[in-house]
C-alpha cells in the first residue's frame, strides 16, 4: 500500500531510482529534482526474538499442556509484539531421558505444542503471531543432556542458553525471526 506520493515529473525526463523499499526516491537525472517519492506502509522490519522456557514440552493430551503453554507465553520478552510473517522458528530442546529406558519424546510432537502456545492475537499475553501459517520454516533439535552437555562458553552460545543452563534441569530455547 502506498501512503505518500509526490509528483513533479517533467515530460521526457530520464529517471534515476534511488533506494529500495520501504521508501523509493525517483529523481530526474538531469536536474536531480525529486520526481516521485513512494513510502510503502506495509514494509515492516521484524526483529528476531529469543527466549528460554523451563521444562519439557508436553507431547500428549492431559500432560498439563495448558500450564506449560502459559509458561511459554510468560517467557516471551514483553517488547516482542505481534510478529508478521513470513517467519522462521528454531527450537533447541534440552532434555534428560526418562527412566527406565531413558527414552526421549518425539521432536515433532513437542514442536506442535510450542507452535500452538505462541499463536494468538494479543501480544500483551505473550502471543508472538496471530496465525501459525506465518511460520514458513521450522528447525528443531532435541539435545539429550545425559549424552552431551552444551558448551555455554563458546562464542555461539546465546545469553538465553547460558541463563537456562544455570537455572534449569530441562528447558527449551525458542527463536523466531524473519524467514530467509
Structural domains of the chain, ranges and CATH numbers in brackets: 2-40 (no CATH), 49-178 (3.30.1330.70)
**129-161: burial string, b at 16+ Cβ within 10 Å, e else:** bbebebbeeeeeebeebeeeebeeeeeeeeebb
Q: Is the pTM of this model over 0.75?
A: no
Closest by alpha carbon to 33, among 15, 48, 19?
15
Neighbours of 35 (CB within 10 A): 20
What pLDDT is stored for residue 71 in this prediction? 93
Task: Residue count of the chain, please give it.
Answer: 180
What pLDDT is stored for residue 61 in this prediction? 65
**Dihedral sign from CA coordinates of 115, 116, 122, 123:** negative
- The torsion angles phi and psi of 162, rounded to 5 degrees, stand at -60, -45
* 3-class SS of residue 37: strand
What pLDDT is stored for residue 6 in this prediction? 37
Please list the pLDDT of the chain residue by residue as tens digits (180 residues): 333 333 444 455 555 555 555 444 555 555 554 444 444 444 444 568 889 999 989 887 666 888 889 999 999 998 888 888 789 999 999 998 776 667 788 888 899 899 999 999 888 888 989 988 899 999 999 888 887 666 654 545 578 888 888 888 899 999 998 887
Neighbours of 49 (CB within 10 A): 19
Amino acid at each position: 500500500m502506498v501512503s505518500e506520493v509526490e509528483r513533479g515529473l517533467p515530460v521526457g525526463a530520464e529517471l534515476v531510482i534511488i533506494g529500495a523499499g520501504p521508501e523509493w526516491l525517483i529523481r530526474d537525472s538531469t536536474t536531480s529534482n525529486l520526481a516521485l517519492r513512494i513510502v510503502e506502509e506495509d514494509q515492516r522490519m521484524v526483529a528476531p526474538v529469543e527466549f528460554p522456557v523451563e521444562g519439557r514440552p508436553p507431547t500428549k493430551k492431559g500432560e498439563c499442556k495448558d500450564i506449560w503453554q502459559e509458561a511459554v507465553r510468560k517467557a516471551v520478552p514483553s517488547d516482542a509484539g505481534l510478529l508478521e510473517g513470513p517467519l522462521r522458528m528454531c527450537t533447541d530442546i534440552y532434555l534428560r531421558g526418562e527412566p527406565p529406558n531413558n527414552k526421549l519424546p518425539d521432536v515433532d510432537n513437542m514442536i506442535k505444542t510450542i507452535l500452538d502456545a505462541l499463536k494468538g492475537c494479543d501480544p500483551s499475553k505473550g502471543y508472538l503471531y496471530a496465525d501459525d501459517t506465518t511460520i514458513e520454516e521450522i528447525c528443531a533439535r532435541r539435545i539429550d543432556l545425559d549424552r552431551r552437555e552444551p558448551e555455554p562458553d563458546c562464542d555461539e552460545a546465546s545469553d538465553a542458553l547460558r541463563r537456562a543452563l544455570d537455572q534449569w534441569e530441562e528447558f527449551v530455547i525458542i527463536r523466531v525471526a524473519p524467514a530467509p
